[in-house]
Amino acid sequence: MFKKILIANRGEIAVRIIKTCRKMGIKTVLVYSDADAGSLACEMADETIHIGPSPAAQSYLIQDKIVDAVRQSGAEAVHPGFGFLSENPVFARRLEAEGITFIGPNPHAIEAMGDKITSKKFAAEAGVSTVPGHMGLIESTEEAVKIANEIGYPVMIKASAGGGGKGIRVAHSDADMAEGFAAVKAEALTAFGDDRVFLEKFIVNPRHIEIQVLGDKHGNIVSLFDRECSIQRRNQKVIEEAPSPLLDDATRKAMGDQAIALARAVNYDSAGTVEFVAGQDRSFYFLEMNTRLQVEHPVTELITGVDLVEQMIRSAAGETMAFKQEDLSINGWAIESRIYAEDPYRGFLPSIGRLVRYEQPEEGDQGDYTVRNDSGVREGDEISMFYDPMIAKLCSWGETRDAAVTGMARALEDTHLSGVGHNVPFLSAVMDQERFKSGQLSTSYIKDEFPDGFRGLEPSEEQKDIFITVAAAMNEVLAEQAGDPSERTDWTVLIDREAHEVSLSYDEAEDLVISLDERDLTLSEIDWRPGMAQFRAVLDDEPFTAEVKRAPDGFDIRHRAARARVRVLTPRAAEMYQRLPEKVAADTSKLVLSPMPGLVVDIPVTVGQEVKSGETVAIIEAMKMQNILKAEHDGVVKAVGAKAGDPVAADDVLVEFA
């Protein structure tokens, strides 16, 4: 077994690999860029080596720097994690030539399966069902439009070397294809150093289901069953689960057998994932094979008890797999929510900045469910514009799917972040939706359920009870702290402008009793004091956590996807509040604002130019993605506020119309 492994990655996956290496008694060396100096992964690694500036193209993607770091440290093997060089056969062969072990599949398997064009040809030759498409390289936009018409719209444009949702667009027309083809090529070149693009038919209302495979260097290959990854946004997975609620035993076995057969055809030896697009009728087609560890691997580990990072290391070291297919089985259900630094209330735009507060749920057995949280950041860390904005992968496990969903909802409640925008309210909304609970999923789920974007959910009656009791309890604590002598027990609680008359008292156990609408609600086990961002308590025997913040005239309270300004007032003051006029938002209809912090790629308009609705007026790059901003109406450009290469902040004015 290896004595020292170099990790050619960063963030939560680097932390994840270090944890397994510690368990196995293996020393770790971590390479890091300027942006990652002082990161959690750097703190945890036994050794660290600086490899350059923050952009990945100048650090994590430079093979010479990785090889030099291996020589400098004396490491025997390299674990590439996912992304960066993890699916680069040239890198794997170079390590092999240098006498360094690559912890991943052999270069032939990477080359055969890692390139999405080659893999589809290989799969077709092997008799694997594939989605209709054009697997050859496409040189020009005109050629792409012609091929798209032959396939039939809608068509998916995909980067051959893509991954992680990068370098993908869906085109519904020739105009979409012309614009999207150029954008995908540009993104692919920036993110992967490879601008090759291919096309395939976009299956309407599909589900994304994948099979985890694992092989060793002695010809043994097993399936660790399936994961459902249908909850996606912009082709980026957001929520995954294992197993899939769609599959029956027969389909699961058929998909597993096909995945194993494909892996065996290339002598696959390591962890890998065979991805399928599935119809609602359980038909399925091969999409691609990812020749690396997947981001969502924790859910498979939770239902099988197999440490995939450990198995990758053991396979690379030449060990024979210690189990066979018949030794594996599915135990319970697991769900993973990807927590991103992004603002769901502003179209999920990336958010960067300092993570001022980060309170994580308690990991381990929580009674009816188990929590696992894979995170690469700590409170006080910086969320950088140079990398994916992932903060954590929060996982729950339960004996049933219902238990796992309930556990995830509670774990999300116990997660608090501030300083950057984050998608925890959105993830909570999905957990509370009946459609998700029923397992009726598709890759269009988010677009179907939130067609006008995410604005949160209206509070349920139970959540209104939480808002009222939390605000009343906080008001009591603050009054006591201030020495308020009034001892008032009757209040009016406003949820935004909705009034509720309440009366407060205490029972024999000194729990707070709130009389509301001829009901008595009991709030017990209160865990809150001024300055705390989370209010934990038990309301009528149901534990909950709410996110709270004092405001000048009350409290801002969020429970899951519902949030409101809540005020505890005297009846007279409440009457006055309800007479106040509604605040009117500022008119920004003539402005094109930067939706996020990033770099200006291009502003293809000039002062005095007439612009038609739908025309591109700016392109902003952030988190390795290009965001195309279009005019929402016809107009004449009055002013241009930035130029190509300029850094911009969220809400900076890019273009102003007369």
- How far apart are the C-alpha atoms of 203 and 195, rounded to whole Å? 24
Task: Check 187, 210, 288, 547 and give the catalytic one.
Answer: 288
> What is the spatial distance between Cα 113 and Cα 272, in angstroms, rounded to a whole number?
10
* Euclidean distance between the first and the last CA atom of the chain, given in angstroms as a whole number: 69
- Residues, the chain: 658
- Pairing assessment for the beta strands 207-215 and 155-163 based on DSSP bridges: unpaired
Which helix (H) or strand (E) is 640 found in, with range? strand 635-640
Using CA atoms, how far apart are residues 561 and 499, in angstroms rounded to an integer?
A: 21
In a 10 Å sphere around its CB, with 0-12 CB exposed, 13-18 middle and 19+ buried, how is residue 656 labelled?
middle
Distance CA 336, CA 395 (A): 4
Output the six-digit token pair for 642. 């930035």
- What's the token pair of residue 627? 């965001």
* Distinct helix (H) and strand (E) counts, the chain: 17, 40
* Active-site residue, 362 included: no
- Cα–Cα dist 387/35, whole Å: 9
CB 180 within 8 A of CB 221: no
Which letter does DSSP use for residue 460 in this model?
A: P
Q: Is 359 exposed, middle or buried (0-12, 13-18, 19+ CB in 10 A)?
A: middle
* Cis, bond preceding 154 (omega within 30 deg of 0): yes
Backbone phi and psi for residue 147, each to the nearest 5 degrees, phi listed first: -65, -40
Decide: helix, strand or coil at residue 116.
helix
Distance CA(402)–CA(453), nearest Å, equals 27
Distance CA 113, CA 256 (A): 17
Dist CA 170 CA 183 (whole Å)? 11
Separation of alpha carbons 225 and 297, rounded Å: 11
Is omega for the bond preceding 243 within 30 degrees of 0, making it cis? yes
| Residue 587 CB burial class (10 angstroms; 0-12, 13-18, ≥19) | exposed
Residues with a known catalytic role: 288
